[in-house]
Amino acid sequence: MRGPMSWTPDRRRLLVGGAALIVLTPQRALAVARPPREPTAAAIRRFAGEAEIRPGRVHLDLPPLVENGNAVPLAVSVDSPMSATDFVRRIAVFNDKNPQPNVITVHLGPKAGRAAITTRIRLADTQTVTAIAELSDGSYWSATADAIVTLAACVEG
């Protein structure tokens, strides 16, 4: 039998609780999907129209910490058999905080063999980059990646 005081938070419980709070906080922050800003949302609508954009099938590879925003390696690939009837038609990449929302748009076809491209882009600020792929059946798939930029592009002369 424990006494009536057994429920009072002791040192151990406080420590465990505090640690759990620290572990949980950043995960909750990440789980909140920030909607893209107005120009980016408009650019995505210009690309995809009113079609539903589902997350998945697209892999966006961007370094999480960018030293120089003037040349950031970017790789996008899409899970697709790239056959004559099932292929990726277009891939577009959008950013959230550059002066212009578009980064690059590529047009592929069944002859591409693989839906995978790489390039180097500019990032003006710490921000979220979104890649959206249009498949031959008219469906749209997306992926996002966050990048922390220490030296921003465009700002310095």
Partner 1 sequence: MARTLINLPKTAKAGAVIEIKTLISHPMETGYRPGPEGRLVPRDIITEFVCRFEGEEVFRAELFPATSANPYLTFTTLAERSGTFTFTWTGDNGFSQTESAALTVT
Contact in structure between 115 and 108 (CB atoms under 8 Å):
yes
Q: Which is nearer to partner 1, 119 or 126 (CB)?
A: 119
Closest separation in Å from C-beta 76 to partner 1: 11
Q: Which is nearer to partner 1, 106 or 135 (CB)?
A: 106
What are φ and ψ of residue 126, in 5° steps?
-65, 125
Closest separation in Å from C-beta 94 to partner 1: 9
Question: What residues have CB less than 8 Å from 74, skipping those under 6 apart?
Answer: 60, 61, 62, 93, 103, 118, 119, 120, 121, 129
Closest separation in Å from C-beta 64 to partner 1: 18
User: What would the DSSP string read from start to end of 20-85?
Assistant: HHHHHHHHHHHHSPPPPPHHHHHHHHHHHTT--EEE-SEEEE--SEEEETTSEEEEEEE-----SS
Half-sphere exposure of 45 (CA within 13 A, CB side): 8
**Cα 36 to chain centroid, rounded:** 11
Q: Which is nearer to partner 1, 95 or 128 (CB)?
A: 95
Q: Which is nearer to partner 1, 53 or 90 (CB)?
A: 90
Q: Which is nearer to partner 1, 28 or 111 (CB)?
A: 111
Closest separation in Å from C-beta 108 to partner 1: 7
Residues that bind partner 1 (CB under 8 A): 70-72, 95, 98-100, 102-109, 111-114, 116-123, 153-154, 157
Closest separation in Å from C-beta 30 to partner 1: 25
